[in-house]
């Protein structure tokens, strides 16, 4: 969530950066990108960077990836599962495959490094990053 000031005081909005940007750093429960910081997990999609309500202890379900599967222009999905690698369940992998997404799970740090390289190469990549 992002807090801003409106006519009626503080307004809470869903976090969204309308563009693509490499991740500059991560840790302490969040990320830095595009001269901004975000506390919490992120979805990095062609349509922008979104806050993602996913923690290291939360189960990764098909619903967790609904925004990713609705996105166009993505062929590769990198899933940063936190400090440790967690495998996706067979049901989730089948759903992502049905959405024509090639998926690779890895630690969040490895996913960030891989995402930044693929983004620089203009590849059709998205990432789901759990904050550490």
For 9, counting Cβ atoms within 10 Å of its Cβ (0-12 exposed, 13-18 middle, 19+ buried), the class is exposed
Contact 67, 50 (CB under 8 A): yes
Q: What is the pLDDT of residue 14?
A: 66
pLDDT tens sequence across 29-69:
999 999 999 999 999 999 999 999 999 999 999 999 999 99
**Quick check: helix, strand or coil at residue 106?**
strand
Region 14-26 average pLDDT: 88
d(CA 70, CA 72): 7
**pLDDT at residue 9 is higher than 60:** no
Q: What is the pLDDT of residue 3?
A: 47
**Quick check: helix, strand or coil at residue 37?**
strand
d(CA 43, CA 33): 13
Query: Confidence class of residue 8 from pLDDT cuts 50, 70 and 90?
Result: low
Task: Provide the mean pLDDT of the chain.
Answer: 91
**C-alpha Rg value of the chain to the nearest Å:** 15
Contact 39, 89 (CB under 8 A): no
pLDDT tens sequence across 65-81:
999 999 999 999 999 99
pLDDT tens sequence across 75-132:
999 999 999 999 999 999 999 999 999 999 999 999 999 999 999 999 999 999 999 9
Domains of the chain: 15-129 (3.40.1230.10)
Phi/psi for 89 (5° steps) reads -65, 155
CA atoms within 13 A on the CB side of 96: 28
């Amino acid at each position: 969530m992002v807090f801003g000031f409106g006519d009626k005081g503080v307004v809470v909005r869903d976090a969204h950066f309308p563009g693509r940007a490499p991740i500059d750093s991560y840790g302490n429960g969040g990320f830095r990108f595009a001269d901004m910081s975000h506390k919490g997990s992120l979805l990095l999609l062609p349509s922008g960077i979104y806050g993602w309500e996913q923690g290291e202890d939360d189960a990764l379900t098909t619903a967790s990836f609904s925004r990713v599967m609705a996105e166009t222009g993505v062929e590769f999905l990198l899933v940063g599962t936190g400090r440790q690698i967690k495998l996706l369940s067979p049901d989730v992998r089948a759903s992502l495959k049905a959405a024509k997404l090639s998926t690779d799970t890895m630690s969040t740090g490895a996913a960030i490094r891989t995402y930044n390289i693929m983004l620089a190469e203009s590849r059709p990549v998205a990432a789901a990053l759990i904050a550490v």
